[in-house]
Structure 1
Amino acid sequence: MNRQLLMIAILASATGPAFAQAAAKPAAPQPITKAAYIQRVDRSFSANDTNKDGFIDKSEIEVAETKAIGTRKAQMINQREAAFRQMDTNKDGSLSLKEYNAQLVAQPLPKPNAAPMLARLDTNKDGKISAAESRAPAVAQFDRADTNKDGTLSVEEQQKARAKK
């Protein structure tokens, strides 16, 4: 039953005019009462129960999903067209490499910040990272993964180590 309600809530959020408006212009979250939320879910259920039998069957779900996917596709096309028009600064209907890269080129590079790496690796606090300091975390990671302490990471030990991440 909870799974059905979740599916209905998902369909509610993916269909209807509210979805189209939210995708175009994200609104700040607003408080909502439980009664209002349930009313929204019930409206969505009713909209998707096209034969009005009190149930949403496979075909009704597929119709709702097709509609939602079509809506999202149309929105993406509109967004891409708007981005293209914005990038096509000379309005010739095509993008030169210069136009395509212009927004990226205009972005300043972030200021480098060595402090986090130095804080993590410079264990003797001399303002530099030695090869030994650089190697230490990787060696410690290897040693943790080498559970049988034979100096070799078997495929099984590697898989277990990856699973722990």
Structure 2
Amino acid sequence: MEDRAIVALYWKRAETAILETKKQYGRLLFSISRGILRNEEDAEECENDTYLRAWDTIPPKRPEKLSAFLAKITRNLSLDRYDAMHAEKRGGGEVPLLLDELAEVIADETAFPTDTEGLSEVLNAFLGRLKPDARTIFLRRYWFGDSVQEISARSGFGESKIKMSLLRTRQSLKEVLEKEGYRV
């Protein structure tokens, strides 16, 4: 079923909207959440919470790209759950590693203006200029939360190539952000 038809089901308040959403995007949403949480039960709960959040949000919102809309909800829910689970026991896991890696590019949240649309445009343009392999590696690491080993297994590239690609892409991103006037 096409995205427009699924969104129309939400607008009609038809419960089949959730079933169609799960059929179309369930694997993607589960994958995003599992990459962050590293736990299948928690990932499944976040996936289900995504359907509820979509139900509560559509209408009044009418997402242009349903997959991106749902992925963002899932990612935010998963990161919130991760924070809650690790609030008292800071330490291991993939998310702190991701944040440490990105810290060299993004100093902190005060480095960026509240105009997130401008930053989104810069990031989208940056990602659009990357070679497909570098873009996929970068997104698998920093959007989906995949480990270097998982990216290596998925792509067929060696772990050292993955690490080098990530390093070069982060360096390029830092240069682009500085050129655009963002404090890094």
User: Quick check: TM above 0.5?
Assistant: no
> Could you say which TM-score interval applies, normalised by the shorter chain?
under 0.3
TM-score under structure 2 length normalisation: 0.23
TM-score under structure 1 length normalisation: 0.25
Task: Answer 1 or 2: higher relative contact order, Cα 8 Å, separation at least 6.
Answer: 2
